[in-house]
Every structure is written in C-alpha cells, then in structure tokens.
Structure 1
Amino acid sequence: MKTITTERLQTLKSKNENFELINTLDAEHFEKTKIPDSINIPIAQGNFADRVLEATGTKQKLVVVYCASHDCDSSTKAAKLLDEAGFDVADYEGGAAAWKDAGQPLAV
C-alpha cells in the first residue's frame, strides 16, 4: 500500500493534479481537520469503496485518504480497503496535523 508525504501532497495540489483527497473521519471531526479541497467520506458509515467510486467515477484516479494524525488509523484502514478493491490509493499518514505542522492551512 502506498503512502504519501506532505511535500508530495503539496505538489499534487499546487500543480492541480487530477486526484481526490478524502477525509475518512465522521462529519463532526471533518470540520476540524479539513484540508482545503478535500471531501468527507467517513469510513465508519460502511460501503466505503462504493461511496468512493461514486465520488471519483473511476478506480484509476488517484485517491489520497487522510484522517487527523499519525495516531488515527481510519485512513490506513480506508487505504487498505480501497487497495483491495483495486483503487489507485495512497495514505497520507500524517493527516491534518502534519499538514498544519507544515504551515499549510486547514479549511475551517
């Protein structure tokens, strides 16, 4: 399973690459951990891969999943599910905390 660094995510965003950034937390936590341009698909609601496919329209588009921080494992679980379902997926393990620590804004 692939992971992605803060630097690589910054590059994808700055170059307007065609990818989907998905926060895997519930709606309440999404509002506190929203990286700009991310969407919220909570892993806890079930049918996660189906909901991601509905949002992306294809399994070939890069999907980057993230949650709150290194201590949060929902994005790792989500990445594993998507990888097993055949998606091009990368886990941003540092999550919103690493994004903020790098001086990047959260969309609050």
Structure 2
Amino acid sequence: MKEISTIELQSLLEENKELNMVDVREAAEVAEGKIPGAVNIPLGLLEFRMHELNKSKEYVMICRSGGRSAQAAEFLKNQGFKVINMTGGMLAWQGETE
C-alpha cells in the first residue's frame, strides 16, 4: 500500500498541488477539525458512497491514527481505485485544520 506522511502531505498542500483527500472518520470527529479540502466519507459508508469517487484520480485516505484509513485504502484498492494512506492520521497532523 502506498503511504504518505503528514509532513509530506502538508508540503504538497503548501505547494498548491491538487490533491483528492477523503477523511474516513465519523462526522463528530471531523467536526473537531479536518484538513482543508478533505471530503468526509465515514468508513462505514464508504462501500455505499464509493460511486462519488473517480477511478482515474488518486485519493489520500485520512483518519484519526492511520488504521481506518489503511482499511479504507485497502478496500478501495481492491475496487480498482488509486489510493495513498496518510500515516499517523490526524493525531500526527501539524498543519491547518478547518
């Protein structure tokens, strides 16, 4: 599975790279702060909402600590999506949140 650190992701965002980020935490967790531009699709709903994603794009998967996003990345990869797991999750995120 491809992985990206929070520091690498933050650098890409600061360079204004176009990134597709999916935060798989629950809505209450996301309400405490998410990476600007990330779309929230809770892990439990991913199977039902994956039609909202485009297989020609690459997605960075985000969660609290990296575990759920790894599960989400593995699931989407098996469905034919291009995915990267953000290691360390939001616990390791030092950048801006909204």
SS at match of 1:47: helix
| Moved segments of 4+, more than 4 Å | none
Gaps of 5+ in 2: none
Gaps of 5+ in 1: none
Alignment correspondent of 2:91: 97
- Give the fraction of aligned pairs with identical amino acids, expressed as a percent: 35
Deviation of the 1:76 alpha carbon? 0.9
Residues paired across the two proteins, number: 98
Tell me the alpha carbon deviations over residues 64-86 of structure 1, each in whole angstroms, 9 at most, x when there is no partner: 0111125xx21111000011111
Q: Which amino acid aligns with 2:22?
A: I
Structure 1 vs Structure 2 CA RMSD: 1.7
Distance 2:63 2:29 in 1: 9
Alignment correspondent of 1:63: 59
* TM-score where L is the length of structure 1: 0.79
Distance 2:21 2:57 in 1: 11
